[in-house]
């Protein structure tokens, strides 16, 4: 009986090819075109702050890090890496927004610790509880990655194990849970600046901060991309707007 041939995705992009070969060499699996491109995009997004994946001489070796057994073991606890800028929005909304992360990717603790040191905030979560809270989300596990593509991910005090802030190879608590499900960010002062780009949480419209009034109760004036102008008090700003990176 003749076996039916199965087509193997053979990417032309060098980085996608490195990811495909790493998966096959370590896990013995050929990724589908969707899986390969998703994993490639996830790693590229995580390492977007430098040219880490652009060095062709090291590309194959670096792709293997995300599939190596010692880096991808123990997926009971996973880590979401981010910056201080976005931590408040994640905690206040109880979700990670797919608009800001493309895709939303959780990694194993070794990957977070050794490969993603440029991120100051590490959110540690319980994988099974996270999946239970997001039963409608399709999590795709590839190597040491757990990816939710194009979907928001809810995070609660039940699934969050710890949130730490890393700096100069040291780490400390980034938030304090002052009551069940209520977190206080350990920071001195909320920082917003003129010219910061913003996103409205509800209507997804974008704009730019044009003026910030003095004092804790000062007014924040915003020029929207459609030409309209809005104003909101500093104390209410975080309930309606997200500051965007870049």
| Nearest one of 77, 109, 48, 81 to 174, comparing CA atoms | 81
Domain boundaries, the chain: 8-67, 69-187, 197-243
pLDDT in tens, 34-77: 999 999 999 999 988 777 788 888 999 999 999 999 999 889 99
pLDDT score for 246: 53
CA 88 to chain centre: 14
197-243 under CATH 2.40.50, yes or no: yes
| DSSP of 32-65 | PHHHHHHHHHHHHHHTTTSSTTT-HHHHHHHHHH
The CATH class of 69-187 is alpha beta
| Digit-coded pLDDT (tens) for 95-119 | 999 888 889 999 999 999 989 988 9
Q: Are 69-187 and 197-243 the same fold in CATH? A: no
Residue 22 has pLDDT above 50, yes or no: yes
pLDDT of 168 higher than 50 = no
Interacting residues of 82 by C-beta distance below 8 A, sequence separation 6+ = 90, 119, 121, 123
Q: pTM of the full predicted structure? A: 0.70
């Amino acid at each position: 009986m003749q076996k039916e041939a199965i087509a193997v995705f053979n990417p032309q992009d060098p980085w996608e090819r490195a990811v495909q070969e790493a998966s096959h060499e370590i896990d013995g699996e050929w990724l589908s075109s969707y899986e390969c491109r998703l994993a490639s995009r996830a790693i590229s997004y995580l390492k977007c702050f430098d040219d880490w994946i652009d060095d062709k001489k090291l590309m194959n070796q670096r792709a293997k890090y995300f599939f190596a057994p010692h880096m991808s073991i123990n997926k009971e606890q996973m880590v979401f890496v981010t910056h201080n800028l976005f931590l408040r929005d994640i905690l206040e909304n109880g979700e990670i927004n797919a608009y800001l992360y493309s895709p939303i990717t959780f990694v194993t603790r070794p990957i977070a610790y050794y490969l993603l040191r440029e991120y100051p905030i590490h959110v540690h979560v319980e994988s099974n509880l996270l999946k239970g809270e997001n039963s409608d989300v399709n999590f795709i596990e590839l190597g040491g990655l757990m990816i939710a593509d194009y979907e928001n991910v809810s995070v609660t005090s039940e699934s969050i194990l710890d949130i730490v802030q890393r700096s100069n190879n040291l780490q400390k608590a980034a938030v304090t849970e002052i009551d069940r499900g209520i977190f206080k960010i350990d920071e001195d002062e909320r920082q917003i600046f003129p010219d910061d780009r913003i996103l409205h949480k509800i209507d997804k419209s974008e704009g730019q901060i044009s003026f910030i009034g003095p004092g804790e109760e000062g007014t924040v004036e915003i020029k929207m991309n459609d030409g309209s102008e809005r104003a909101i008090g500093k104390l209410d700003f975080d309930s309606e707007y997200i500051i965007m990176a870049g």
